[in-house]
Amino acid sequence: MTALVDYRSNRIVELMDEPAESRGGDWLKESLQQAVLLELATLPPYLCALWSVEDQDGDVAAALREVVFDEMSHLGLAGNLLTTIGGVVRLADDMTVPKYPGALPGGVRPGLTVYLSGLTKESLDLFSRIEEPDDPIAAVRSNTSIGAFYTAILDAFRNHTDLITGTRQLTRNMAHHGKGNSIVALTSFADVEKAVDIIKEQGEGTSASPENPHPGELGELAHYYLFRQLFHGRKLVKTSENPDRWEFTGDTIPMPQTFPMGTVPPGGWGGAGTPPPDPETRDLLDEANASYSDMLRFLEKAWQADLPATAKESLNQAIGKMFDLPSPARTLMERPLPDGSGRTYGPEFRFTHA
């Protein structure tokens, strides 16, 4: 494993600084590996927020669940973008699995610390800053976006369409979660362009609308605007046309009842001078960490398999491990921390070796 695959590096920033004429096959492979790490980094914080909601059948949980499934699709598409040009997906390693709290991979959104906690106004603000586009319709512009990185990737593909081979492609029908959510084989530039557009537009929306153009349900917002809507506690509505204006002035959206999951400290529970968990809690934490780590190992194996049947089997095993995660995670969220804060435990999403 080279330092270039270290999620803690500033490699995305460095890659974006390279001139367009230097962005060939090697640039694309490095960029897409970083994109895989970036997509992975968003899943643990979003999952913690989702699982902390007590009513998993309510509207807020449903909205967060759609975001999670979108992000899983994005991870799948990013992996396929890498393997279609002959790259090797790396996921299951101490250098590639993000640690929380910490920065986003590659130096994206410098100064932003991503952490694991339950659903709060603060976590919603964090999530929207992760997803923020360069020119949001209902907010001010901040620093370089994830979308800008994907635009650079698409431009490089456009200049090197000959690199697209369609090798080692994973597929999964996820159309029931939205028309853009299936993980599909990318065998042409048109496939690549559509995949990049889905990743960008589900997260950021478009320059014309904050709505997700690849929704599960009509009127579904892109992730950035959904998070801002929940943060403001009011629906985002169009208040004027020509030019269009959108404001958070619609119906009230109350914050749901949640388990008060605390913020996971550096090194996990018991780290950074915090009291160690009791043995039963430690067993639950280890169970969740093992399922997460096994999921990553099976995903990596799926993308590296030579035979489609082997790839499909490994992907199914990865999905099985993913479905093993909610039970210990939600049980942990019912266990109070020993510090008397009134907060509870939650999953650590730490990588462990088999």
How confident is the model over 151-191, as pLDDT tens digits? 999 999 999 999 999 999 999 998 777 677 889 999 999 99
- Helical segments of the chain, H only: 11-17, 25-52, 59-83, 121-131, 146-159, 189-204, 223-232, 279-304, 308-323, 326-332
β partners of residue 183: 172
**What's the predicted TM-score (pTM) here?**
0.93
Chain segment 318-336, per-residue pLDDT in tens: 999 999 999 999 999 999 9
Cis check: omega of the bond before 243, within 30 degrees of 0: yes
Amino acid residing at 255 = M
Both tokens assigned to 233: 């506690």
Phi-psi sector, 111: left (phi>0), alpha (psi -120 to 50), beta: left
Q: Which carries the bigger pLDDT value, residue 211 or residue 29?
A: 29
pLDDT band (50, 70, 90) for residue 244: confident
**252 and 233 Cβ atoms separated by less than 8 Å:** yes
Dist. CA 48–CA 117, nearest whole Å: 6
Please provide the CATH number assigned to the domain covering 3-258. Answer: 1.20.1260.10
User: Among 31-40, 88-97, 140-149, 217-226, which stretch is predicted with the lowest mean pLDDT?
Assistant: 140-149
Amino acid residing at 333 = M
**288 and 332 Cβ atoms separated by less than 8 Å:** yes
Percent of the chain with pLDDT over 70: 94
pLDDT of the residue at 283? 97
pLDDT of the residue at 142? 42
**78 and 87 Cβ atoms separated by less than 8 Å:** no
Chain segment 263-318, per-residue pLDDT in tens: 999 999 998 888 999 999 999 999 999 999 999 999 999 999 999 999 999 999 99
pLDDT of the residue at 137? 47
pLDDT of the residue at 8? 82
Q: Which carries the bigger pLDDT value, residue 148 or residue 52?
A: 52
Dist. CA 44–CA 130, nearest whole Å: 13
Q: Which carries the bigger pLDDT value, residue 71 or residue 8?
A: 71
Percent of the chain with pLDDT over 90: 76
Chain segment 54-100, per-residue pLDDT in tens: 999 999 999 999 999 999 999 999 999 999 999 999 999 999 999 99
Cis check: omega of the bond before 101, within 30 degrees of 0: yes
Distances (CA, A) of 216 to 48, 175, 178, 208, 221: 22, 8, 4, 19, 10
pLDDT of the residue at 4? 56
Report the length, in residues, of the chain.
Answer: 354
pLDDT of the residue at 245? 87
